[in-house]
Amino acid sequence: MRESNKESTAHVKKQIKRIGILLLDDFTLISMASAIEPLRMANQLSGNELYNWSTLSYQGAPVSASDGVRVTPDSAMEQAVDLDMVIVCGGVDIRARVEPEHISWLQSQARKGCIMAAVCTGSWVLASAGLLDNHECSVHWEFLASMQEAFPRVAMTTRLFSYDDNRWTSSGGTAPMDMMLKMIQQHHGNALAVAISDMFICDRVRSEQDHQRVPLKHMLGTQQPKLQEIVALMEANLEEPIELNDLAGYVNVSRRQLERLFQKYLQCSPSRYYLKLRLIRSRQLLKQTSMSIIEIAAVCGFVSTPHFSKCFREYFGIPPRDERAGSFSARVLNMPLSVETVETVPSLPSEATRALLRARNESTFASVSL
């Protein structure tokens, strides 16, 4: 029995992921909470300390969020040891909030093999440290154009979140929750991720294939008003797509000029971009409505359901029927675990440990079997 307990202890210690949350002045509070809360709930539902987190700042000084809430971090970033992952929380006026000490510390953590992550505008900090070169990166749409210009070696994307090797980046708002649920799913399985989303009354966990709704002006700046006008026409006419020659005529450009604009600024043909808009709209309808696939195909401008299914599968990798069936709507049966494993976790002075101990009387404690 004693040997069994030792094995259990070793297993629990091995599974704990130590995560440092680096807060920069004027960070976005909702993004920080969206990153941390799934970790807390993963511990509660599993009954084990799967994740241990601590908040960090430069020299351990208190940090104010963009809404004025003041947070006293657990420690200075230089005092954090043995981290498995660092998440940079950015927010307002990020370029003025980055210090050389932030950059050098992040670079040192990366050299140690730490997973580097960012939420909201925190991606700017990782990119400034050269840690996103040749990696795909997500950032809040408001900052997309400036990052594309400042960091040409970073593969910017409009996706809600991205993970590329050991780099995880997320846009703002609640998107960090989707990113963390994806990470938890990879570590501990789909059942735990589903249960966490249920606890947070999250109707659908968005995947890395979901995109932000980015206003085109933030991708192009104030340039190319004709291109913006063409895209606006496309977005307003998804059910009955306009012929490309007609689109060109509406804004007084030639068909060839139209194609050059799309290739130069959106890196695709006009027809491909138009198709993408219709497919993204169809995906939203699949996830958010009870419309039939036939109806969705029609309102998104496809000539037939088979043609719609073929295009959808080629773009998203799965057919529309599987997209709808694969949403995070399943419920997990309660499968109580023994709470003995919790007692094997050392009494560390961390928020993760205290939160886990407080949760022992919750009905959901240890309700998911790993």
pLDDT by residue (tens digit) across 305-364?
999 999 999 988 889 988 887 543 333 223 233 333 333 333 334 777 877 777 776 666
| Out of 70-74, 169-173, 215-219, least confident range | 215-219
CB 293 within 8 Å of CB 313 = no
Specify the higher pLDDT residue, 222 or 298.
Answer: 298
pLDDT given at position 240: 92
Angstrom distance (rounded) from CA 193 to CA 203? 13
In sequence order, the β-bridge partners of residue 55 are 21
The segment with the largest mean pLDDT, out of 89-103, 220-234, 277-291, is: 89-103
Tokens of residue 177, six digits? 């929750």
Distance of CA 223 to the CA centre of its chain: 29
CB 78 within 8 A of CB 105: yes
What pLDDT is stored for residue 286 in this prediction?
A: 85
* Dihedral sign of CA atoms 73, 78, 84, 88 in order: positive
Q: Are the beta carbons of 220 and 145 closer than 8 angstroms? A: yes
Beta strand pairing status for 70-71 and 75-76? Answer: unpaired
